[in-house]
Chain A
């Protein structure tokens, strides 16, 4: 057992040595893998950030309740208190009709109308943020229930916004998955090609080892190690590249999220995600080199 471990360690070191002996080609291979994997990783981080924000806000449609204008001045405040006690309501913000009008006049297009209206045409408005986690039907039911309350004139609910957001996030998530598959496939091909090149270079060595009684497993082992190493190191390069991209992009993303959603924390991929990427890439490297070496050995060692 110990000698087996020792032999594996020797081959691992030899594999690293092999990579170091051809620095340029190793660099190109590792760089290729790194850049290829950095693309889906970056996209993934982006989607993750957006969907974490949507998870907080986006899935929950805001409702605007227009208070019945005949209900009197204190009705809006009373209604707001009643709504705050409702178990399906998270937050309520009262926008009195005067404030609403003032906000309206702040818009450039409507500014010339300021002071020219005889009467404020707006009702008092309650911005209601329902609790999260209901489905579309649930929110519709809630809106209908609120509409039946005393003093409620009308309820508007923007489910279309939620549907649009969901569609966009789902689309991007699918795109990210497709990119993962495509680019991991690319990684397998890059590693396979690089292993193939080193096999051709080592043809004499392979034949001699085979003739003095080296098993195929023995011959295969260093190539499996170098393929796996390329996958692992390539993925580490990808992590570094994606981190670099993240540093460049994060401020802009943060501003965008601040502007749209009032949230500005942008996070990078979690350690477990990064570990998964490294493990997946390493496994692919192993698999790609196994197939490549086995195919090659069948060609050069005919029986």
Chain B
């Protein structure tokens, strides 16, 4: 589902941000990507999102070779991905429901279906009651769950998360991780970038990818 083959990314500096990274995630697999800040986690996610293009190597996501993906096809490609950001990136002037609806609206989903699917997604993260609120009145953990609802409302085959538990307490972090595991059990490929190694050890089985200085130093399957 996510296949990196000798992928490197250079920003023109003396050292590559990513250097010859190779790994492959199967559909429905859940993987944690760990490493210090600056190890290349964000760069790797940006490459999958085509916010950046790889300098060398081949990147095939969901059967699409990103090196050959023309610029105008990028929006359509991104609709097949769900993304959860560290700072949740909700739009402050829109209600929770409107935020969650955004991926549906940009894909041109008919109006009558939008409401139903938004409520289903909010229900899944336990925030149906907050539908009409503005994001700012919610706690950090709740906002992060709204972000997750937005990421999955389009029923993506791939879910990416960048430090999803970075700004929440432990109890909330566990809840959020539980959600990711649920999605993975439903066949979604989940890739979570985190520096929180405790989350990695809590859920088995899973993949654990370790980045260090732009290189993939570890790639192991943690058995149940």
CA distance A265 to B177 in the complex (A): 81
A108 contacts B by Cβ under 8 Å: no
A209 contacts B by Cβ under 8 Å: yes
Q: Which one, B106-114, B116-124, B137-145, B212-220, is touching chain A? A: B106-114
Q: Which one, B12-20, B35-43, B68-76, B186-194, is touching chain A? A: B68-76
B71, B72, B75, B91: the one contacting A213 at CB < 8 Å is B75
- Complex interface residues of chain B between 76 and 105 (CB less than 8 A to chain A): 76-79, 81, 83, 89, 91, 102-103
CA distance A209 to B101 in the complex (A): 11
B176 contacts A by Cβ under 8 Å: no
B71, B76, B102: the one contacting A209 at CB < 8 Å is B102
**Interface residues in A, total, Cβ within 8 A:** 17
B49 contacts A by Cβ under 8 Å: yes
Name the residue among A3, A208, A210, A212 with the largest chain B CB count within 10 angstroms. A212
Question: Given the known A-B contacts A208-B102, A303-B71, are A213 and B107 also in contact in the complex, defined by CB atoms under 8 Å?
Answer: yes
A6 contacts B by Cβ under 8 Å: yes
Taking CB as reference atom, which chain B residue is nearest A301?
B51
A204 contacts B by Cβ under 8 Å: yes
Please tell me if the beta carbons of B111 and A213 are within 8 angstroms of each other in the complex: no
Please tell me if the beta carbons of A212 and B83 are within 8 angstroms of each other in the complex: yes
- Complex interface residues of chain B between 133 and 159 (CB less than 8 A to chain A): 150, 154
Question: Given the known A-B contacts A212-B103, A213-B79, A214-B106, are A6 and B111 also in contact in the complex, defined by CB atoms under 8 Å?
Answer: yes
Q: Identify the B interface with A (CB < 8 A).
A: 49-51, 53, 71-72, 74-79, 81, 83, 89, 91, 102-103, 106-108, 110-111, 150, 154
- 10 closest A-B pairs by CB: A213-B79, A214-B106, A213-B78, A215-B75, A212-B103, A213-B75, A208-B89, A213-B106, A303-B71, A218-B106
